[in-house]
Amino acid sequence: MIAGDITEIIGVDIGGSGIKGAPVDLAAGAFAADRVRLPTPAKSTPKAVARVVAAVVDKLGHDTGRAGGPGSPIGVTIPAVVRDGVVLTAANIDETWIGTDATARFEQQLGRPVVAINDADAAGLAEMRYGAGRDRGGSVLMLTLGTGIGSALFIDGVLVPNTELGHLPLHHGDAERWAAAAVREQDDLSWKKWARRLQKYLALVQRLLWPDLIILGGGVSRRADKFLPHIDVPTEVVQAQLHNDAGIIGAALAASQKPATDDVQETLL
């Protein structure tokens, strides 16, 4: 539920190379103004990242005039397991994140209520609400193919958080080290060669979960024509519709579930 008539909430997506934010129009499921992007600090400690997140929010206010009120919540994605706002793993971020209360850290830096959520879970929420998973019941698995492989599992539209299927063992290690989209670029693989790796990964996931639908997301999903024709598993596999915007939109969606702080509530009543 969105409090009162607030339909615009800022979402911020922390990625391996960039920290991106935008005000999201939750009625439309789209950005309400242009996205702002700043580079992820080379040493991505909680302190350094929180500063850049605050700079993104400031810049949004400056560039677009749309940073929201001081009490309005902000959603932030993290590429790690996040339970009750606390980060529990660090495969693709600085290991000092482990044990960090991300919600508290961002709230302190931003002076606003924050919801911290795993990046793939956020992307999945957005796809389920506005994209390829819309109106889909049963079990739906969203996979984000980027620096790592993120996963978000939904049962009748309800998220099972922190599934971490990018770490399934495949080819002598974590699957994401061999089949993530970034590996295609790093190892200079042809689309077809990378698609063969993706096929092996999807076959593994499929055998274990038998979902009703698999949605492939991440920036690479824009190029689905290059790899989807090589994928063949006994489950429907579709490309995501929100591509790289899904994380920001899902972060905003998650934040919309957090009540605004008192001063904002008052202005709404």
What type of residue sits at position 11? G
Residue type, 131: G
Smallest gap, in angstroms, from Cβ of residue 254 to ligand BGC? Answer: 14
Instruction: Identify which of 153, 99, 84 has the alpha carbon closest to the alpha carbon of residue 121.
Output: 153
- Shortest Cβ 251–ligand BGC spacing (Å): 13
Name which of 182 and 260 has its Cβ closer to ligand BGC. 182
Residue 5 makes CB contacts below 8 A (sequence gap 6+) with 268
Kindly indicate which of the ranges 46-54, 104-112, 146-154, 195-203 contains the residues binding ligand BGC, using the contact rule CB under 6 A.
Answer: 146-154
Question: Is residue 150 involved in binding ligand BGC (CB under 6 A)?
Answer: yes
HSE on the CB side for 39, CA within 13 Å? 3
Contact call for residue 120 and ligand BGC (CB under 6 A)? yes
166 binds ligand BGC (CB under 6 A): yes
Size of the site for ligand BGC (CB under 6 A): 16
Near ligand BGC by CB under 6 A, which window of 53-61, 76-84, 185-193, 204-212? Answer: 76-84
Using CB under 6 A as the criterion, which residues of the chain lie in contact with ligand BGC when the complex forms? 79-81, 89, 91-92, 118-120, 144, 146, 148, 150, 164, 166, 176
